[in-house]
Amino acid sequence: MRRRSFIAATPSVAVLSGCLDDSGSGSNGDEDAATERDEPPFDVTTVDAPGSDAGTVTVPAADQIQLINFTRTTCPTSRAFLERVGEAEERLEESVDVGPDGTVHVLSVIDGSAGAQPSEAELADWWAEQDGDWTIGMDESGALVDHYEISSYPTTVAIDGDGDVHWRDEGGTTASNVVRGVETALEAAAESETRDESSG
């Protein structure tokens, strides 16, 4: 599995204490199957919940920045951090098109192969209880979790259309830092597009 380079977040306040993953997240014991699903794109099963439609989301998505918040329904730190993700989304909406088909897509994901395993209806009810208002889904195979080497919750990444990580935070940070992380990814994508146009 290739490690992706990333720009680490440097929060100006103390980060929250996250929940470590000690359950072999994303691993089903079948090494051959794990090898087959090592590379993107990955499908995340989304549920019908506030701000979220039932279906699938592809990660990465071409020509889109995705802010992916890996969360756990049973992790208090993950639940507390959702408010900051929501605040960041609201701030981003002031300057960019945010949504499943927008320039930026905000997505919270739970590992569907390890840890607490809610049904889609249970996940939707939990999402409503958290006042979530953006896409919520399950990485059913654990492939996405494996690929981005998620070992603690919450972990949040901003990726470009190729799946490269331009910002990463583990344990939670401020909404302002989340916004800056997305802006970093947007700037990198714009620079890449400019280089492509110049070379073409």
Q: Domains in the chain and their CATH numbers?
A: 19-199 (3.40.30.10)
- At residue 104, φ and ψ (nearest 5 deg) are -125, 135
- Mean pLDDT, the chain, integer: 86
pLDDT tens figures, 62-92: 999 999 999 999 999 999 999 999 999 999 9
Element (DSSP H or E) covering residue 66: strand 65-70
The pLDDT assigned to 23 comes to 53
Average of per-residue pLDDT across 163-177: 97
- pLDDT band at 37; cut points 50, 70, 90: low
The larger pLDDT score, comparing residue 22 to residue 149, is at 149
Question: Could you tell me the sign of the dihedral formed by the alpha carbons of 94, 99, 102, 103, in that order?
Answer: positive
The pLDDT assigned to 39 comes to 85
**What is the rounded distance in angstroms from the CA atom of residue 174 to the CA atom of residue 180?**
10
Q: Alpha helix locations (H) across the chain? A: 31-36, 76-92, 120-129, 143-147, 175-199
- The tokens describing 169, both together, are 């935070």
User: Nearest CA to 156 among 143, 140, 174?
Assistant: 174
The DSSP code sequence of 13-40 is: SPPPP-EE--S-TT--S-HHHHHHT-SS
pLDDT of residue 40 exceeding 50: yes
pLDDT tens figures, 97-132: 999 999 999 999 999 988 778 999 999 999 999 999
**What is the rounded distance in angstroms from the CA atom of residue 83 to the CA atom of residue 77?**
11
